[in-house]
A = this chain, B = another copy of it.
Amino acid sequence: MNSRILSSGNLGIKRFFALDNRAYEKGALEVKTKELLGLVASMVLRCDDCITYHVIRCVQEGVSDDQFFEALNIALIVGGSITIPHIRRAVEKLDQCRANQRNKEH
């Protein structure tokens, strides 16, 4: 669907998508830190698609379970109980990613 949107000819949307990608590239902050920032921002704004994306990226960048839950805890404190359903789905996704990692190691 992204390629469909990019093919619409709207230059603003195309450039926004490029900026979105670049924001998470290595700079003065590590990619891992940036993905945690993206995860917590997505969590307090309660967007499941965005959360899923950043969970996968956090796992790829080597975020440990303890680091992951500390980030979720900050999102929970800042955003309140309204984030709990999203935390459930984030942890479900984390468990899937970990299972995939274990399968690949075998």
Contacts and interface: CB of A to CB of B under 8 A. Distances in A.
Contact of A13 (B20, B27, B72): B72
Contact of A42 (B19, B27, B73, B78): B78
A27 B36 CA distance: 15
Interface residues of A, number: 62
Nearest to A27: B70
A34 B72 CA distance: 11
A40 B36 CA distance: 10
A72 to B, nearest CB: 7
Contact of A78 (B29, B49, B78, B80): B80
Interface in A1-39: 1-2, 4-5, 8-13, 15-17, 19-20, 22-24, 27-29, 33-34, 36-38
How many identical subunits does the complex contain?
6
Given A13-B69, A76-B80, A80-B82, A41 B40 contact: yes
A19 B22 contact: no
Of A10, A16, A34, A81, which is in contact with the most chain B CB atoms at under 10 Å from its CB? A81
